Amino acid sequence: MAKFVWLASYPRSGNTWLRFALSCLLAGKPMDHSAEVSRLIPDIHDGLRGDVLFGKKTTIIKTHWAFNTGLPLREDVVGVIHLVRNPLDVLVSNQNYAMTRSGALFNQANGEERENIARKFADNYIGNGGHENFRSFGIGSWEEHTLSWLSPLNVTPKLLVRYEDLVAKPDQQLSAIARFLGLKRSDSEIVTACENSSVDMMRQLETREVEMRADGIFYQSVNAAAYEAGQRLIVGGERKFDLTLEQQKRATERFGPLMKRLGYKLERSDT
């Protein structure tokens, strides 16, 4: 049986970016199509190919599930890369992403109605500690998800990576991940992988695949209407919705204790 390393994160925490960076590092070249990333670092929520499950190789597998002792592949998992992000930024990213998946009702609404829909989403998210549907998907609230992967019940070797540290020093973080994985890569190979997985490079690839309707990470034909409405995985300054000061206060009160444990200041980091 093959061996596996989880790349675990709460949705909208930077998993796609890290998958690209690691894929560039593994392949030693840029990714010409996002489907290449899915081949090198598959998403367990999309199912796994037979060649991933058998043989002597070790494969990194993306998951948004919370950790539990009944997870699939558990007897063959040899490591966990646990990616976390400031939960207030995760909230806003989920808010903006969700608004482009709200269908015709949202798209036909006027500006004030859209603001109300977005504000209600944020209120529900804060009250639930995450997207209201995520618990039924096995993801849980942000706190449940994060604490599950930090749990001593998870005895697999773990590497905690903060999204903000990836942004600040991507080469240092990617080098640390490579060491954790036992990958021998030179400093120049690390730097090249970071350059080949920059946000600009990913955004260009996403734009091309959406325009070409090329199925992959960035485009799935079953969600064509969402792409027409402007849904994108790679956000580039076009954020439309944000938290009110009162929502920021309530979110900080809710997530604050775990934010402190992870070394976060009790404030937004992407404002």
The domain in which residue 7 lies consists of 3-261
Least confident of 79-83, 176-180, 217-221, 230-234: 230-234
CA separation (Å) from 170 to 97, 186, 198, 247, 253?
24, 15, 10, 31, 30
pLDDT at residue number 253: 97
pLDDT at residue number 56: 87
pTM score, whole prediction: 0.92
Looking at the domain assignment, is residue 269 inside a domain? no
Q: Directed axis angle between helix 142-150 and helix 245-261, to 10°? A: 10
- Mean pLDDT over 137-149 rounds to 98
8 Å CB contact between 259 and 91: no
Tokens 């849980």 correspond to 140
Among 204, 181, 202, which Cα is nearest to 193's? 202
pLDDT at residue number 225: 74
Looking at the domain assignment, is residue 231 inside a domain? yes
Strand order in the sheet with 77-84: 58-63, 3-9, 77-84, 158-162
More confident residue, 248 or 268: 248
* CB neighbour burial string for 101-128, b if at least 16 within 10 angstroms, e if fewer: ebeeebeeeeeeebeebbbebbeebbeb
CA distance 129 to 36: 34
**Residue at 47: amino acid letter:** G
The answer, yes or no, to whether residue 234 has pLDDT greater than 90, is no
- Mean pLDDT over 134-140 rounds to 96
pLDDT at residue number 238: 54
Which residues have CB under 8 Å from 12's CB, separation 6+? 85, 90, 93, 94, 97
Which residues have CB under 8 Å from 253's CB, separation 6+? none
- Mean pLDDT over 226-239 rounds to 68
Look at the chain and report how many structural domains it folds into: 1
pLDDT at residue number 130: 97
CA distance 186 to 166: 18
pLDDT at residue number 237: 47
CA distance 63 to 162: 16
| Number of Cβ atoms within 10 Å of the Cβ of 182 | 9
Looking at the domain assignment, is residue 266 inside a domain? no
Task: Name the DSSP letter for residue 66.
Answer: P
Looking at the domain assignment, is residue 93 inside a domain? yes
Mean pLDDT over each residue of the chain, to the nearest integer? 91
Reported as a single tens digit per residue, the pLDDT across 76-134 is 999 999 999 999 999 999 998 888 765 545 566 677 888 898 999 999 999 999 999 99
The answer, yes or no, to whether residue 268 has pLDDT greater than 80, is no
Looking at the domain assignment, is residue 22 inside a domain? yes
Looking at the domain assignment, is residue 268 inside a domain? no
**Residue at 4: amino acid letter:** F
What DSSP string runs through 235-266? --S-------HHHHHHHHHHHHHHHHHTT--S
Task: Name the DSSP letter for residue 222.
Answer: G
Looking at the domain assignment, is residue 206 inside a domain? yes
pLDDT at residue number 104: 46
Looking at the domain assignment, is residue 271 inside a domain? no
SS3 9: strand
Tokens 């090249």 correspond to 192
CATH number, domain of 41, equals: 3.40.50.300
The answer, yes or no, to whether residue 156 has pLDDT greater than 80, is yes
